Amino acid sequence: MTNGIDLGITPCRTPRTIPVQQGSSCLPVKVAREALRGVERNRALIIIPARARLTALAYRLVPGLVGAFGRQVIAKVIGESQGEAS
């Protein structure tokens, strides 16, 4: 129970970190805190972590460019994972 709100999260079942990017991670407690703050402020879109807001803004301005970049990244990741499986 945190601040009178039962999140139904048992610490032993919660991972210590949630992978976000290579080399970085978010603590589940921080993600929950940011999500609750967004709900309290009645936000339609809650973007976590804060550095991902830049990507969301770029997508609003030039969706085709961001989409093309995303496809390249996904293709690279899939290629790398298939290379490891061989």
pLDDT tens digits for range 51-82: 788 989 999 999 999 999 989 988 888 888 77
Q: How confident is the model at residue 31 (pLDDT cuts 50, 70, 90)?
A: confident
Q: How confident is the model at residue 36 (pLDDT cuts 50, 70, 90)?
A: very high
Does 3 score more than 80 pLDDT?
no
Distance CA(47)–CA(72), nearest Å, equals 22
The CA-CA-CA angle for residues 82, 28, 2, to 5°, reads 160
Q: Do 3 and 35 fall within a single domain? A: yes
Distance CA(46)–CA(52), nearest Å, equals 10
Q: Do 9 and 39 fall within a single domain? A: yes
Per the structure, the complete domain to which residue 80 belongs is given by 53-86
pTM score of the predicted model:
0.52
Identify the sign of the CA torsion 15, 20, 24, 29: negative
Residue 1: predicted pLDDT: 45
3-state SS assignment for residue 21: strand
Q: Do 12 and 43 fall within a single domain? A: yes
Tell me how many domains the chain contains.
Answer: 2
Distance CA(29)–CA(16), nearest Å, equals 9
